[in-house]
Chains A and B, each alone.
Chain A
Amino acid sequence: MKSKILLFIAIITLSSGCNEEFLDVKPNSAILNPTTLNEFQQLLDNFRELNTTGGIQQMSSDDYFIVDKSRFDALTNTQKGAYLWSKDLYAGDANIQDWNQCFNAIFYSNSVLDGLDGISLSPEIHKQDYENLKGQALFYRAYAYFDLARNFSPVYSKSSSESDLGLPIRLSSGIDVSVERSTLGETFSQIISDLKSAELLLKDEFSQQYRNRPSKVAVAAMLARVYLYMGDYNEALNFAQQCLSKYNKLIDYNGVDTLSLTPFSYSTEEIIFFSYQQTTYSTTTGYGTNQTSIGVNPELLALYKTNDLRFPVFFIKNSLGNYNVRRGYVGGGLYPFTGLATDEILLIKAECLARANRTVEALEVLNSLLIHRFKEGLFIPVTADSAEEALGKILIERRKELVWRALRWSDLKRLNRDGFNVTLQRSLDGETYTLLPNSPLYVFPIPEDEIALSGIKQNIRE
């Protein structure tokens, strides 16, 4: 008996030995340690992190006004500072998403890029899928950096690009180092090189379903947007054409329900790449039918001609009698669409053609867009006697077409650089606020916590 017992104990004891697999089990199904292509795609499909852009540029633009002092008082400091172009824009507000969210997207992209480095190709992992994913990550990184550059750096100008401050360029996901600001030239060459590498890696076809995902079409569209901002109109034209040769679908607004509160969907045919404005400032920038704090700038509204379907599709009168923006290309979403769409690319093409003195072609492109925006049979094509006049009309149409898409601010920056000379004015409670062309206030300050924790250089705003 005694020996039997000891034998039994010995068996139990020996079998309680360890095997490393025992502790290798994933603790929770909801927690992933992304290692596969599919898991990396899931990270990149998180559009709330990756497909967002800032909101201060919209709040600083002249697309709207704040109704009165009491409504102004109810806003956050950043909303107030952006509206009045205050020197101390955030006035103590922390967690500035315009900066943080873009770097978060860069962190996601870099995490995926670092993760992909650890994967070797095998029969199960196709080169094409692997490269497509890498291309997506590079695109997202460039997209975020461009949004940061148009907000937190002066407008790109070749002559000063080696001295103007750009952004800290982070090319890996490690959080243990902070990086100094590069020059603006370096920032833009990083954006362009990321986009150009992405173009080589991404799959050829354009996915009608996943409009949140980067594609070759999106790369061309983005390059057109970036070069336009940089003032390189030849390259901008080149990529706008490249883009449109691959994808040029337009919606005819005659088919759009002017009464519907959600006239478009998240997969509206014009969308080339979906992004939307981050959600912090909804009371001054969000879509919605009764945003009583704000009204769309009446001067802007006055620019729409009769029979322009964009007016009833874009705007709705609120309970105070002011106009609010109904909804853009975001289905039922409440935050403005800021992505790439064919209308913008057509307008880039038209602008670049006009700048190249190709007036007829320019107007042809413009009219090809506008005919889809006017009541059927009632559209009178735009004409111009000179390239300059054409450019002027194209820029007005650009403002009307791309209203509330967070492009107005960067347009003002680049146009003023080129001598456009627009002075902005606001009045609030009897006081008038003015923003002169090319003012250093066009460059937003870097959030205080970033300065405090990484010690990078602040923008000078006086």
Chain B
Amino acid sequence: MVTTCGNPQDYLTLKKILTVMKLSLILILLFSVQLSAKVAAQQVSLQVKEERLDRVLRAIYKQSGYAFIFNGKELHKAKPVTLNLKDVPLDKALKVLFSNQPFEYSINEKIITVKPKKTDLRENLVQSFQQDTVRGIVTDSLGNPLQGVTIRVMGTDKGTVSNEKGQFLLLRVPQSSTLSFHLLGYKDTVLGAVPNLEVSLLTSVGELEEAEVIVSTGYQEIPKERATGSFVYIDKKLVNRKVSTNVLERLDGVASSTLFNKGLGTGNNASFNIRGRSTIFANPEPLIVMDNFPYDGDLNNINPNDIESISILKDAAAASIWGVRAGNGVVVITTKKGHFGTGPQITFNVSTSVSSRPDLHYQPQITSKDYIELEQYLFNQGYYDNTLDNGYSAISSAVSIFNQTRSGVISKSDSASLINSLKKYDVRNDLEKFIYRPSVNQQYAVSLHGGGSRNRYYVSAGYNQDIQNMKGSSFNRFTIDANNTYNFLKGSLQLMTGVFMATTKTNSNADFYSRPFSPYDRLIDENGNHLPVMQPLGLRSEFINNQDGRLLDWNYRPLDENSNNNRSEMTDYKVNANIKYEIFNGLNIGINYQYQKGFTDNVLSRSINSYYVRNLINSYTQIDPESDVLTRPVPLGGIENVGNTNYRSHYGRFQLTYERDLNAFGDINVLLGSEIKDYKFGSTSDILYGYNPSDGSSVPVDHLTFFSQYYGYGGGYIPYGSQKSFGTDRVRSLFFNGSYLFKSRYTLSFSARSDESNIFGVKANQRRVPLWSSGLMWDIGSESFYHFNVIPKLKLRFTYGYNGNVDTSVSAYLTARMYEINYWGAQSSSIVNPPNPSLRWERNRNINFGLDYASKNNLFSGSIEYYIKNGIDLMGNSPIAPQTGIIEFKGNTANIQTKGVDFMLNKNSIGNSDFQWSGTVLFSYNKDIITNYKVKQPNNAQIVIGNYVNPVEGYPYNAIFSYPYRGLDKEGKPIGMLNNETSQDYSSITNSKDISNLIYSGSATPLYYGSVRNDISFRNFELSINIVYKLNYNFRRSSVFSGSNYDYTVADFDKRWQKPGDELITNIPALTYPINYSQDGFYRGIDALIERADNIRIQDIRLRYNFKKLSKNKLVNNLQLYAYINNVGIIWKATDQDIDPDYLYSSYAGPRSFSLGITTNF
């Protein structure tokens, strides 16, 4: 199959060949030659023994393309078939086949109708005298024309198939006969024959047999029916249900077992998890595959309109073909292709989404009035004295007034009126008005697709323009996707080429004014002048205004900084080619190649007018005390941070597949192949000083001298930013996947993969990791003993196997990392990790039990799955005696176990042609526990603050711990517990090492989650509502007044203890001075601040209207209008706090967005 050795030139030869291939494939694609059709006489070969008739008919269909209409209920009448035919013309083969069967057949176009032999001559005669012509059009419920619908005149051998416009024509149809309409994926429909028919077929979602779902593993497409593994399939319709720029966001709330990690604070968490956690410190993100290969570019570059379907691979049997990269699950994105034998069709989709201005009052905080009172108290206590004494550090306007009053600069009454005027302001109002804005996202997508008998094509272009909530922030994207498939040699050779290109532009304001110094700051006065404000590390106005006139203006005016100074442009393209050749019946050989390249240019451009530049120049300004000469080590002019990153990847794959129906011996399906990956990335960056944007010139600066700062006693070096880095990621793999179906009820599967990579830089024999999985499926419903009529369809699945994961931060050798240039001008490096000769890949042992079911008449269908994942050999830290020079050693020492249940229930469409109702219920249970972890957290404070740094054995990765709290004492001081006794020794409580002094307050990730989606259609309207729920999880309120934190962003200051007796009605401590860090640390970690995060929300609502009448118009086939509301609102939440658990730590909750769109095709 694959040579196991060769000389070093082989790889280069391959590269050359592939490069040439790549070019020629583009040419083929661009010139898109239409191949002439050559009709060949249909010949078939059949070698069967005692085989069921329907299977023989299927084999004929596969070989000839002639479809059969056959009533399955009459199958029991059929006799077993034994035949040995080789390259026999079809008509002759049929004659032989039916010679001893109680059936007769007739051929009409490409449809062969099989029916029981009839003897009633009179009936035939009557029919032949009363005949009519029937013409009509078949569409789906949205009015899209359906091609390939089999239309049969019942009781006769007449039939036809609808064309690409959904039209059909039947001549000489007996009067008052009935027509049946059949198409895979739609419900069979029966109607009386009238001359002009308009038929719309209803989809049969989730029907086990009729709607054959094809899932993709990225290596092969397999009917979900026959897969032992655990897959989630998201079709085009579901992908397009949401309106969003990013494709993965569209999985949120509709994909079973997939949880988007919203509201999680810190830790090594992925943006979304498939079946919970599988690792601790290694990469937690699922692998994203687009068509055949992992997608190396930015996911924001994919146009969701180009997506045909998404398959999520959950267990080992589904994902182990991806080996070491599959540990966190795999998301396989399949893009749209054209269809053979359809005329050109153009689809156009345009939508606009608008969201409101963010509400910055979302997080509770002290009112301006209360905060000024707090400042007054602290001022009187002398809290600000050190800061005031140095003469330059930033102080708030109120403190400045207090200070001036104390030193007699302003009178008491002036002070009072100034303070009173401050109390009225709320800077959040100014921010909402001048820094934020409503967002507007526009999407345009157009595609052209179709195909002849020998080729098919899909070309699309998409444009997105997102104007984001922060002023100056925007995102633009332009995408092109083009693919083309050709068949040669009677279809035994297939060539597919594809080109994908995306360019994006992102603008943002790097100096975005996010956190005002005081809650009552003002950005603009009554006359519209932009006002200067304090910055946390800035300088106070009294200092600024008394400086040497030769300095630049040192004021910071946020509204003057409102520019989109940070711009990045990304270009990403991907070219692929795919050859498939059928050597002989069932044996295919395939070669895939993909080249992807992307580069991003980043420019952060700050002019001399920006505060950043003015501040840097002023801070470094030197004034010689003797000569009074002023020098500026940072030159006048702009500062330009430039950078670019780039990557390119080659993927090559060679694979053999063998599919064979061995008749009585079952079906066999085998895939064997090898793959190679070569991924390179690099980046460079630089900082240019004294930059002149008109000619691009800049000025060299002295980075090696330590300059003292203009004010205070500090100093530093001028920031140096010339950097270059690069790297290579290479993988070589062998894989095998096989399944065997016998007696039509038992499927056995086995999959294995071995990867070798350069990432560890280890010896050749340690680079390789073999991973495997195996699965079993039993179709109980097909057993003769199974007679349970309520659930006629029942299947059991069981899989077992291993996936892997990678931690690229470790190595088997002593590795070092480039570090700084030291003070003496020498490049230094630091040791990253000591040699670890026993390093292994992380592994995930997966066990999955699955049950697929469907009720009678397919009213309900779905699946239940139970899984256990054991992360073993996970990278974990182990303590090691410090005399070795190292205190923690990273090695394969930790384990994690994740258990869960996934449940899916589809209520399939019911109702009549006017009204239909269908729905889906998703439910997942998921719990992870760290089962082995060597390093203990140094003390309880560390466990409370950051359990994830060194997870605690026996608890989830995202566990929340808290200190038991016993209310306030008579002085308003919080009471805690230490060693089972009440205690107010906060530092002993927080420094305790005994974990029994803590309370486990549950996990920060939901134990139960899922969604309930209802789709209702009434005539031309279609409504879809998705309700998402997340249950049994917790969060810690982080911004609460602790008595000893003086920041204005905390809540409940007004509820604090103020007088004896208050301890009976409040939990908020009295104001404490001086600052007591241990009280603050303790109070922030108490159990009383833990809240349940459970919530149920209406995630989104979609309403669609179909202009069905337009289907008669020749120009436009159909037109749909849709409206969509995202983030509709919370229906129920467990906490009384006015906070959305999905947006715990952001300054505003996700604004509700409204979209309107049109889809049409012609």
Q: Which residues from chain A sit less than 8 Å from chain B, CB to CB?
A: 1-2, 5-6, 9, 11-34, 39, 41-43, 45-49, 70, 74, 77, 92, 94-96, 99-100, 103-108, 110-111, 115, 168, 170, 173, 175, 178-179, 209-213, 260-262, 265-267, 288-290, 292, 319, 331-332, 447, 449-450, 453-454, 456
Query: Do residues B814 and A173 form an inter-chain contact, with CB atoms below 8 A?
Result: yes
Question: Which listed residue (B682, B831, B939) contacts A111, Cβ 8 A?
Answer: B831
Q: CB < 8 Å: which of A26, A32, A332 contacts B817?
A: A32
- Identify the interface centre among A46, A100, A168, A290: most chain B CB within 10 Å of its CB: A46
Residues of A within 8 A of B727 (CB): 26-30
Judge if B7 is at the interface, Cβ distance under 8 Å.
yes
Q: How far is the CA of A318 from the CA of B627 in the complex (A)?
A: 28
Q: In the complex the two chains form, is A211's CB within 8 Å of B824's CB?
A: yes
Closest B residue, CB atoms, query A95: B887
Cβ of A27: which chain B residues have Cβ within 8 Å of it?
727-729, 758-759, 761, 808
- Residues of B within 8 Å of A46, CB to CB, are 819, 822, 828-830
The residues in B between 804 and 831 inclusive whose CB is less than 8 angstroms from any CB of A are 808, 811, 813-819, 822-831
Distance (whole angstroms) from the CB of A441 to the closest CB of chain B: 22
Answer whether A261 and B708 are a contact pair too, CB < 8 Å, given A19-B10, A104-B886.
Answer: yes
B753 → chain A closest CB, angstroms: 16
Determine if B885 and A266 form an interchain contact, defined as CB atoms under 8 angstroms apart: no
| A-B contact sample (9 more), CB < 8 A, given A23-B730, A261-B708 | A6-B583, A12-B14, A15-B14, A30-B727, A45-B822, A105-B885, A168-B883, A175-B889, A288-B713
B288 to chain A, nearest CB (A): 21
**Complex interface: chain A residues within 8 A of B4 (CB):** 17-18
Residues facing A in B1-56 (CB within 8 A) are: 1-8, 10-11, 13-14, 17
Counting from the closest, the 8 A-B pairs by CB-CB distance are: A107-B885, A17-B6, A454-B881, A28-B727, A17-B3, A453-B881, A175-B884, A42-B829
Task: Enumerate chain A residues within 8 angstroms of B664, measured Cβ to Cβ.
Answer: none
B757 interfacial contact with A, CB 8 Å: yes
* Minimum distance in angstroms from B1140 CB to a CB of chain A: 37
B710 interface residue per 8 A CB criterion: no
Asked if B549 is at the interface (CB within 8 A of a chain A CB), the reply is no
For B832, the chain A residues whose CB sits under 8 A away are 31
| Category for how many chain B residues contact A | 35 or more
Could you say which of B10, B715, B824 contacts A212, with CB atoms under 8 Å apart? B824
Q: Tell yes or no: B386 within 8 A of A by CB.
A: yes
Q: Per a CB cutoff under 8 Å, which of A9, A42, A453, A456 touches B591?
A: A9
Does the CB pair A16–B654 fall under 8 Å? Answer: yes
**Docked pose: A23 CA to B725 CA in angstroms:** 19
Query: By the criterion CB–CB under 8 Å, are B818 and A30 in contact?
Result: yes
A77 to B992, CA, bound (A): 13
User: Are A210 and B824 within 8 A (Cβ)?
Assistant: yes
Nearest chain A CB to B702 CB, angstrom units: 14
Asked if B829 contacts A39 (CB within 8 A), the reply is yes
Known contacts A31-B815, A453-B881; is-contact A19 B732 (Cβ 8 Å):
no
- Contact between A31 and B5 (Cβ–Cβ < 8 Å)? no
* A396 → B minimal CB distance (Å): 30
Q: Which residue in chain A gives the minimum CB-CB distance to B676? A: A16
Q: Are A108 and B831 in contact (CB under 8 A)?
A: yes
CB pair B815–A32 under 8 Å, yes or no, is yes
CB contacts under 8 Å to A, within B476-499, are 488-489, 493
Residues of B within 8 A of A31 (CB): 761, 811, 815-817, 832
Q: Give bound CA distance, A195 to B729, whole Å.
A: 44
Q: For A107, give its contact among B2, B674, B757, B884 (CB under 8 Å).
A: B884
Instruction: Judge if B271 is at the interface, Cβ distance under 8 Å.
Output: no
Q: What is the CA–CA distance of A97 and B254 in the complex, to the nearest angstrom?
A: 51
The answer to whether A19 touches B829, judged by C-beta atoms less than 8 angstroms apart, is no
Q: Which residue of B lies closest to A167 (CB)?
A: B883
Q: B721 at interface (Cβ–Cβ under 8 A)?
A: no
Cα A214 to Cα B818 in complex, Å, equals: 21
Q: Which residues on the A side are within 8 Å of B822 (C-beta)?
A: 45-47, 212
Q: How far is the CA of A22 from the CA of B731 in the complex (A)?
A: 9
> In the complex, which residues of chain B have a beta carbon less than 8 angstroms from the beta carbon of A265?
706
Which one of B5, B729, B757, B939 lies within 8 Å of A18 (CB-CB)?
B5
Contact: B884 with A45, CB < 8 Å?
Answer: no
The residue on B at minimum CB distance from A77 is B991
Q: How far is the CA of A200 from the CA of B1032 in the complex (A)?
A: 69
Q: Are A19 and B11 in contact, with the CB atoms below 8 A?
A: yes
Partner of B883, one of A19, A105, A108, A456: A456
Q: List 27 A-B contacts (CB under 8 A).
A: A1-B489, A15-B14, A17-B2, A17-B4, A19-B7, A22-B730, A25-B730, A26-B728, A27-B727, A27-B761, A29-B724, A29-B726, A31-B816, A32-B818, A33-B811, A33-B815, A34-B814, A41-B826, A42-B818, A42-B828, A43-B828, A43-B829, A77-B991, A115-B814, A175-B880, A178-B881, A454-B881
Interface residues of B, dominant DSSP = mixed
Which residues of chain B from 907 to 952 have a CB within 8 Å of any chain A CB? 938-939
Cβ < 8 Å to A, chain B residues 576-592: 581, 583, 589, 591
Which B residues from 291 to 347 make CB contacts under 8 A with A?
none
- B834 within 8 Å of A by Cβ? yes
B591 and A332 contacting across the interface, CB-CB below 8 Å: no
Assuming the A-B contacts A19-B7, A28-B725, are A332 and B706 also in contact, with contact meaning beta carbons closer than 8 angstroms in the complex? yes
| Residue B1074 lies at the interface, judged by CB distance under 8 Å to chain A | yes
In the complex, which residues of chain A have a beta carbon less than 8 angstroms from the beta carbon of B817? 30-32
Residues of B near A5 (CB, < 8 A) are: 493, 581
B362 within 8 A of A: no
Partner of B716, one of A20, A74, A332: A332
Given the interface pairs A25-B730, A29-B726, A267-B824, the reply to whether A9 lies near B589 with Cβ below 8 Å is: yes
A92 touches B993 (CB 8 A): yes
- Chain A residues with CB below 8 A from B729, complex form: 27
Contact A16 B14 (CB under 8 A): yes
How far, in whole Å, are A313 and B708 apart by their CA atoms in the complex?
Answer: 17
B724: chain A residues within 8 A (beta carbon): 29
- B496–chain A nearest beta-carbon distance, Å: 15
Query: Which B residues are CB-close (under 8 A) to A100?
Result: 882, 887
Instruction: Give the complex CA separation of A200 and B1155 in angstroms.
Output: 79
> Are B581's CB and A107's CB within 8 A?
no
- Return B1151 CB to nearest CB of chain A, in Å: 40
A43 B816 Cβ-Cβ under 8 A: yes
Closest beta carbon of chain B to A284's beta carbon, Å:
16
CB-CB nearest in chain A for B834: A175
CA distance A211 to B591 in the complex (A): 60
Give every chain B residue within 8 A of A179 (Cβ-Cβ): 883
Question: Among B6, B824, B889, which residue has its beta carbon within 8 angstroms of that of A266?
Answer: B824
Is B652 among interface residues, defined by CB-CB distance under 8 A?
yes
With contact pairs A95-B938, A332-B715, A450-B881 given, residues A29 and B10 touching in the complex (Cβ less than 8 Å):
no
A13 touches B2 (CB 8 A): yes
Residue of chain A at shortest CB distance from B389: A319
Q: Which of B771-823 contact A (CB under 8 A)?
A: 808, 811, 813-819, 822-823
Chain A residues with CB under 8 Å of B880's CB are: 175, 453
Q: Is the CB of B823 within 8 A of A212?
A: yes
B1018 sits at the interface (CB 8 A): no
Instruction: Give Cα distance in the complex from A23 to B728, angstroms.
Output: 10
Structural contact, A34 and B829, CB atoms closer than 8 A: yes
Residues of A within 8 A of B1077 (CB): 74
B1108 interface residue (CB < 8 Å to A):
no
Q: Which residues of A contact B715 (CB under 8 A)?
A: 261-262, 332
Interface presence of B693 (CB below 8 A): no
Query: Within 8 Å of chain A (Cβ to Cβ): is B125?
Result: no
CA distance A25 to B591 in the complex (A): 25
Say whether B386 contacts A319, CB under 8 Å.
Answer: yes
Are the C-beta atoms of B828 and A449 separated by less than 8 Å? Answer: no
* Chain A: CB-nearest residue to B814: A111
**A22 partner, pick from B732, B761, B823, B828, beta carbons under 8 A:** B732
A449:B11 contact, CB within 8 angstroms:
no
Once A5-B493, A16-B654, A49-B830 are accepted as A-B contacts, the answer to whether A24 and B758 lie under 8 Å apart by CB is: yes
| Contact residues of B between 752 and 770, Cβ < 8 Å to A | 756-759, 761, 764, 767
Contacts of A267 in B (CB 8 A): 823-824
